Structure 1
Amino acid sequence: MSGNPVIAPAHLGWAGIARLGLVQSALGAIVMLASSLLNRIMVVEYATAAALPAGLVAFHYGVQLSRPKWGHGSDAGWRRTPWIIGGMAMLGGGGLLATFATTQLSGPFWPVLGLLVLAYAMIGIGVGASGTSLLALLASRTAEARRPAAASLTWIMMIVGIVISAGVAGALLDPYSPARLINVAAGVVAVAFTLTCIAVWGVEGAPQAEAKRDAVPFGEALRGIWNDPLTRLFSIFVFFSMLAYSMQDLILEPFSGLVFGLTPGQSTSLSGVQHQGVLAGMILVGVGGHAFGGKAGLKLKRWIVLGCIASAAALALLALAARAGPGWPLAINVAALGFANGMFAVAAIGSMLELAGRGGPGHEGIRMGLWGAAQASAFGIGGFAGAIAVDGLRAIVSETALAFELVFAAEAVLFLGAAMIALRLNDSMGAATRPAQREALA
């Protein structure tokens, strides 16, 4: 290690945090292209089985298990900006390749499948490298008191990016043609990549030789952070909470159609109501986490527990809705679920930012990578598990509504389990802060 002192970088102001939020918007825009728009094109315009896009999306989550490696790479380097820009370039290239391959689905299947697998691998790598490095930069450069609001702001901007890009791309795609699809995708990627470059330009400042760290081998670094009980417990929490969060992704709209008789347009509107609830929950925690006094980390854990319990309650009500059928206030129930999900999700992201620097600077990337891998694996498993569970139960039980009721009840139990883990996080966080407090009083 160099004998020169390490110069601590200045904390980001709100303008700098908002700039990094623009990168989240760009990430969300390209991911929307791959996971939502192309999903619809494959199934409707090219009449492929829904399992193809679902499998590709799950595969891209699987590729994101490499997130700790990308985070470690940005930890060991001079700066995180090249990883953010390079990851975005990989993501954009994967999005364009996936779009081109989709337009070839009317031809021989196996060569096109090979292109799609390569494209979604690039998408997974790009999201992992860029997203992990972005969160590590945000964690290392945001003051503790601002982390809840910073997490809320950046995630809201990501959702806004998804909404805007989906609306604009949808409007420009009519009337559909393969050439128009490629042009729209190229426009989304070009705008997203340009926005990323502008957003991160100059945020880190000039590289400084005295700030460079000796690289620790990846395996040693990963074992080191996994041996930290708080980091390990938080990783387990991220997996179980995000598993519960994602299990309803693929079944909520079919539930509204099969049990409540909603039309496709009405079920899509119901999904919009849920996302509005998510935004409201994120804003509440972001504003509350910044405005109210107290230790930020401990406060966020309380929001996590409250959000998980509220999510479990909303899912239990959805289970009752399956039994009650039409006449149940479904939109209010779904809005409440979204609100509770938004509360716990943004509090969890804020806690990631707060815990990423545990053990000193230089490890934010690999910690964010570990938690990102836990989240990606939960999302990859959760959506499929929910859909498969409903299909399997519908084949066994006599009523479709009962199948959904049992799955929603199982999700509620998962959220209660996540809340219990979060309570242990509260205890662990308090134990971690007490020695520092005693030292300060000595």
Structure 2
Amino acid sequence: MTPNSPQPLSWTGIVRLGLVQFALGAVVVLTTSTLNRVMVVELALPATLPGFLVGIHYAMQVFRPRLGHGSDLGGRRAPWIIGGMAVLAAGGVLAASATVLMATELLAGVALAIAAFVMIGIGVGAAGTSLLVLLAKRTSPERRSAAASITWIMTIAGFIVTTAAAGRALDPFSGPRLVAVSSVVSMIAMILTLAGVWNIESKTPAPGMRHARTRDASFGEGFREVWREPSTRRFAIFIFISMLAYSAQDLILEPFAGMVFGMTPGETTQLSGVQHTGALTGMLLVPAINMLMPAWRMRTTAWIIAGCLASALALTGLALAALVGPPWPLRLSVLMLGVTNGVYAIAAIGAMMKLVDSGHRNREGMRMGMWGAAQAISFGIGGFIGTLASDAARRALPSLSLSYSLVFAAEAGLFVLAACLAARIGRPSTGKHPAGPMPSPANQGA
């Protein structure tokens, strides 16, 4: 390292950036969990409506690769992170206001909600992508996996803290109270974001930062190069299928708990907190077992497969809960779903950090952006399909419980398919590169 070379992020810097992920999770969880429950249960609107709105939010995130590339143009990430969070926070408050407006002016409320969820999607894409680029470029290779785990865990922590606090604050429920809670959460999120990025770039500029214009012309070519890499393409397909299963229950869990188990808005919001607590537990479980119980240590791919299959079993339990009703220990089933999802997620992150350097060099941001786009598209489609399937089953079947049971069972089947795809992750390809010869050292970069 030369005297002029910038230093990589310290552990303190990584944790500070994790505050941004905490803030992202805090704002998003209210829009994807609480607001959709209010629309379906309190306002008696079709579940397809919040599914469509959240789908818009994810549709906007397909621009993640471009947004990350845009932050390269000026060589700084903090303005994109702060600006993205500001748009997200404003969109969160606007979405809550639109939900309240739907009670009296449905069309006006839906129109306002569409604008709000466009803002939410753009905000998440801008802030989240720039944050991942900053972590990828500023973190030393030996710390990348740990850095990704820390930021992901802090996202889940944001879910847990927000759902627990907001759940208590929302009861007794009212429209003004909903807007007030959303406004407070957004304000805290902005404060945490500013604290997380304050002076972090000036103290730890990214190693090997190139002037943006030197990479601008290579964006389209780089995207095609990365997609031709077998390991990158396989992992993108796996992310799409597994996240489809992961997200399909997201928008129907709270309405399901309200309709079948008779829970209040505050109780179902706290139920989401139980799920996220389980996810955090699952994320901590994998590294704990690997470090403390060497006899149980498994390869990353084995953990992914185990997490997918265990998630399928947990969703099967929810399918049974829908048939049995209130006597079933719903909180325990939701907790187990969170734990198994957490195991799958943390193992997938580990695989992602190992694969991010595979293939063409100097395309790490492009590769991460492609996987992020696959995740966003899958989340959007999954949430919408989950609510659409729920509405369709409720109309086609005589029993509300049976309709939810079939949807949960279908999600379990997707996780089984994802486990089969996971077996191919990291498998070396044979013969020539499927899209032509592998790149020479000259076009791989230094």
Q: What TM-score, normalized to structure 2?
A: 0.80
The CA distance in 1 between the partners of 2:38 and 2:406, in whole Å, is 32
Q: Structure 1 stretch 50-59 or stretch 391-400: which is displaced more?
A: 391-400
Equivalent residues of 1:278, 1:339 under 8 A apart: yes
Alpha-carbon shift at residue 387 of structure 1 (Å): 3.3
CA distances 1:239-295 after superposition (whole Å, capped 9, x unpaired): 100111122224445555666x564477666544433321110111244567789xx
The 5-angstrom pairing of residues 290-439 of structure 1 reads 299-319=299-319, 330-359=330-359, 362-397=362-397, 400-428=400-428
Alpha-carbon shift at residue 235 of structure 1 (Å): 0.8
Equivalent residues of 1:152, 1:285 under 8 A apart: no
Structure 1 match to 2:242: 241
The CA distance in 2 between the partners of 1:242 and 1:112, in whole Å, is 30
Q: Structure 1 stretch 46-55 or stretch 115-124: which is displaced more?
A: 46-55
Q: Which amino acid aligns with 1:376?
A: A
**Alignment length, in residue pairs?**
424
Alpha-carbon shift at residue 22 of structure 1 (Å): 0.6
Equivalent residues of 1:84, 1:134 under 8 A apart: yes
Equivalent of 1:212 in 190, 210, 213: 210
Structure 1 spans left out of the alignment, 5+ residues: 436-442
The CA distance in 2 between the partners of 1:385 and 1:342, in whole Å, is 22
Structure 1 match to 2:231: 230
The CA distance in 1 between the partners of 2:285 and 2:370, in whole Å, is 27
Q: Which amino acid aligns with 1:224?
A: E
The CA distance in 1 between the partners of 2:174 and 2:324, in whole Å, is 44
Equivalent residues of 1:98, 1:119 under 8 A apart: yes
The 5-angstrom pairing of residues 74-89 of structure 1 reads 74-89=71-86
Q: Structure 1 stretch 138-147 or stretch 343-352: which is displaced more?
A: 138-147
The CA distance in 1 between the partners of 2:388 and 2:301, in whole Å, is 32
The 5-angstrom pairing of residues 252-267 of structure 1 reads 252-253=253-254, 261=261, 263-264=263-264
Equivalent residues of 1:140, 1:361 under 8 A apart: no
The CA distance in 2 between the partners of 1:429 and 1:10, in whole Å, is 36
> Is 1:195–2:192 an aligned residue pair?
yes
The CA distance in 2 between the partners of 1:149 and 1:216, in whole Å, is 30
Task: Give the CA RMSD over aligned residues.
Answer: 3.8
Percent sequence identity is 51
Q: Which amino acid aligns with 1:235?
A: A
Equivalent residues of 1:59, 1:120 under 8 A apart: yes
The CA distance in 2 between the partners of 1:425 and 1:383, in whole Å, is 25
Equivalent of 2:134 in 126, 134, 137: 137
Alpha-carbon shift at residue 40 of structure 1 (Å): 5.1
Equivalent residues of 2:7, 2:207 under 8 A apart: no
Equivalent residues of 2:356, 2:367 under 8 A apart: yes
Structure 2 match to 1:59: 56
Q: What TM-score, normalized to structure 1?
A: 0.81
Equivalent of 1:151 in 137, 148, 158: 148
Equivalent residues of 2:159, 2:276 under 8 A apart: no
Alpha-carbon shift at residue 307 of structure 1 (Å): 0.8
Alpha-carbon shift at residue 160 of structure 1 (Å): 2.2
CA distances 1:329-385 after superposition (whole Å, capped 9, x unpaired): 554443332211110112222333333343466433332222222112212222232
The CA distance in 2 between the partners of 1:152 and 1:224, in whole Å, is 28
The 5-angstrom pairing of residues 140-179 of structure 1 reads 140-169=137-166
Alpha-carbon shift at residue 14 of structure 1 (Å): 2.5
Q: Which amino acid aligns with 2:244?
A: L
Q: Which amino acid aligns with 1:421?
A: L
Q: Which amino acid aligns with 1:220?
A: E
- Cα 1:301–1:84 change in 2 (3 A) is farther
SS in 1 for 2:201: coil
Q: Which amino acid aligns with 2:413?
A: V
Alpha-carbon shift at residue 237 of structure 1 (Å): 0.6
SS in 2 for 1:249: coil
Q: Structure 1 stretch 349-358 or stretch 99-108: which is displaced more?
A: 99-108
Q: Which amino acid aligns with 1:154?
A: T
